[in-house]
Amino acid sequence: MSASCSFPQENVSTPARVLQVKPFLAMEVLEKAQQLEAAGASIVHMEVGEPGGETPSPIKEAAMEAIRLNDTGYTHSLGKPELRAEVARYYKSNYDVNIDPEQVIITSGSSPAMLLAFSALLEKGDQLLMPNPYYACYPNFVNYIGAEPLYVPVREEEAFRLQPQDVEKYSGEKVKAILINSPANPTGAVLREKELQGLAGLGKFIISDEVYHGINYTGKDHSILEYTDRAIVINGFSKRNIMTGWRLGYLVAPHDLIRNLQKLQQNLFICACAFIQAAGIAALRENPEVLEKRFSSYNERRLYLYRALEKMGIAPAKAPDGAFYMMANVKKYTNDSYSFAFRILEEAGVAITPGIDFGSGAEGYIRISYACDMGTLAEGVRRLENYFSTLKPLT
């Protein structure tokens, strides 16, 4: 006869740092969409940045070969030396920047890289300056570690690009660093050379999220490391190489920060998965012609969606210059993008993300992802056209 254990019921208080973490609304929409699909509804997914198509075969083969070779143990906490060297070669080849492989830390996706970077740089009372709109998770990370996000408005008529002169107005003594994201989620903004130079010239440390590099419709990408070495770069493989579920990323930091970042990595994550790191080496060696074809297909969808939104009267002032998102301006129809997004999901069968997920500067917008294939995009556009044709503007 087995004994059973019972424990007294206690009210466990939730720490304030957890309570202030807001839900990621793109995922909330996805999960509601999946619930509707399970009940038999037809849903077009345009809410998350999930590149259409499969992870390329050479990348998958590299991971499977690593497994066959029993490459399934711990690696160095900084990551495999071969992959770190490949990252350094990638930045030299693409940006003519010299990086020591010892400056590279391989992480389990770009989100752990953010947590490491923010934790190593910021403490209670420090401010991290960022554009508004911003990637939804940024302020949650900053608040969680006890620092404070500080927002600089960016404007639709300027394609949502962060302007150095605006940043300078907000750069008080408490600002420890500036966070930039180019190409940007959710706006698709791409910072130009003079803007990157201007931001670097402000004298603040910079954290640069470069995970959408490559998906740039204006020409050559530029890394912040071309303009300053007082920076941490965050990058990864999810968007560029169709590897969202693989959870592989990295950061590049100055030598004097690496030891502290390494200690955090050892304690929080130990190391990234060994055989997935092998896949990362193959990803960085992807054929440039394959990449060009992939990115040109995104551009085709970008132009298609922008023309469609123009016809609906909700296109942004300028087409986005990068990434695979478009901010549709729906202010004439709503001042509550959260409720509006769920109405579109339930009434039109299209999953999109409410602008408020990305800050007060994105209220009155909805973010539409065109990372899906053209057939899915066309069907989503058809449903949105039908839906918006039934709406009357706010009075």
Domain borders along the chain are 17-54+289-388, 57-284
**How many residues make up the chain in this entry?**
395
pLDDT given at position 1: 46
In this predicted structure, what is the pLDDT of residue 23?
84
Over residues 258-267, the pLDDT tens digits come to 999 999 999 9
| pLDDT reported for residue 21 | 83
Please say if the pLDDT value at position 6 is more than 80.
no
Contact 190, 322 (CB under 8 A): yes
Q: Which of 351, 345, 305, 311 is nearest to 325 (CA)?
A: 305
**26 pLDDT more than 50:** yes
- Write out the H or E segment, with its range, that includes residue 298: helix 288-312
Q: How confident is the model at residue 4 (pLDDT cuts 50, 70, 90)?
A: low
CATH superfamily of 17-54+289-388: Aspartate Aminotransferase, domain 1 (3.90.1150.10)
DSSP assignment of 260-276 equals HHHHHHHHHTS---HHH
Judge whether 29 and 345 are in contact, CB under 8 Å.
yes
Please say whether the beta carbons of 181 and 362 come within 8 A. no
Count the alpha carbons within 13 Å of 274 in the hemisphere toward its beta carbon: 12
Render pLDDT for 144-161 as a digit per residue (tens, 0 to 9).
999 999 999 999 999 999
Identical fold at 17-54+289-388 and 57-284?
Answer: no
User: Tokens 């839900």 correspond to what residue?
Assistant: 23
Give 169-202 pLDDT, tens digit per residue: 999 999 999 999 999 999 999 999 999 999 999 9
Residue 2 has pLDDT above 60, yes or no: no
Q: Read off the pLDDT band of 97 (50, 70, 90).
A: very high
Coil, helix or strand at residue 247: coil
Tell me if residue 384 falls in helix, strand or coil: helix
Q: Please determine, looking at this structure, whether the domain spanning 57-284 carries the CATH number 3.40.640.10.
A: yes
Q: Please state, in angstroms and as integers, the Cα–Cα distance from residue 91 to each residue in 143, 242, 321, 343, following that order.
A: 31, 20, 22, 44
